[in-house]
Structure 1
Amino acid sequence: MPFIDVTIAQGRSPEQVRSLMHELTEAAHRTLGAPIANIRVVVREVPKTHWAAGDVTIAEREASMPE
């Protein structure tokens, strides 16, 4: 039973998250041959202030970008 755990920054629409879940399920089914009913997908959304790379949060990075 494949278990796919994805973490993304908050800010996507419910439709985008649902589409991601669908595509991940299809990819696991296609590549592993797992039955769709046995594939589990969890999407975790993290606030942009709680995710950093190089000691800069996504929120800080976005705030510093020119518009």
Structure 2
Amino acid sequence: MPLIHVTQAPGRTAEQKAELLRELTDTYVKVTGAKPEAVWVTVAEVPADSWSVAGDSLAARAAKAKAATV
């Protein structure tokens, strides 16, 4: 049973997440021939202050980007 796991920052609507789940399932089925019932997909949302790139949290990066445009 395949498991597709998506990790992302919060901010997508319930509708966007539902579409993502459908599209990921449909694509896996199309490419592999698996039955849709066999495809599991999870979405984990990590707060922006708990995820970093190059040592800066996503929250800090967003704050720096906002300050740079003001």
Task: Specify the TM-score bucket, using the shorter chain as the normaliser.
Answer: over 0.9
Deviations 1:13-38 (A, max 9, x none): 11111111111101110011110011
The whole-number CA distance in structure 2 between the counterparts of 1:16 and 1:64 is: 27
Match of 2:20 in 1: 20
Point out the structure with max Rg over C-alpha: 2
The alignment covers a number of residue pairs equal to 67
Q: Percent identity?
A: 37
Match of 2:49 in 1: 49
The whole-number CA distance in structure 2 between the counterparts of 1:49 and 1:11 is: 13
The whole-number CA distance in structure 1 between the counterparts of 2:19 and 2:48 is: 21
Match of 2:58 in 1: 58
Q: Which runs of 5+ in 1 are unaligned?
A: none
Higher strand share: 1
Q: Find the residue that maps to 1:34 and give its secondary structure.
A: coil
Q: CA deviation at 1:42?
A: 0.5
TM value normalised by structure 2: 0.89
The whole-number CA distance in structure 2 between the counterparts of 1:54 and 1:11 is: 22
Q: Tell me if the contact between 1:2 and 1:28 (Cα under 8 Å) persists in the aligned partners.
A: no
Displaced runs of 4 or more, over 3 A: none
Q: Which runs of 5+ in 2 are unaligned?
A: none
Q: What one-letter code is carried by the residue in structure 2 that aligns with 1:48?
A: A
TM value normalised by structure 1: 0.93
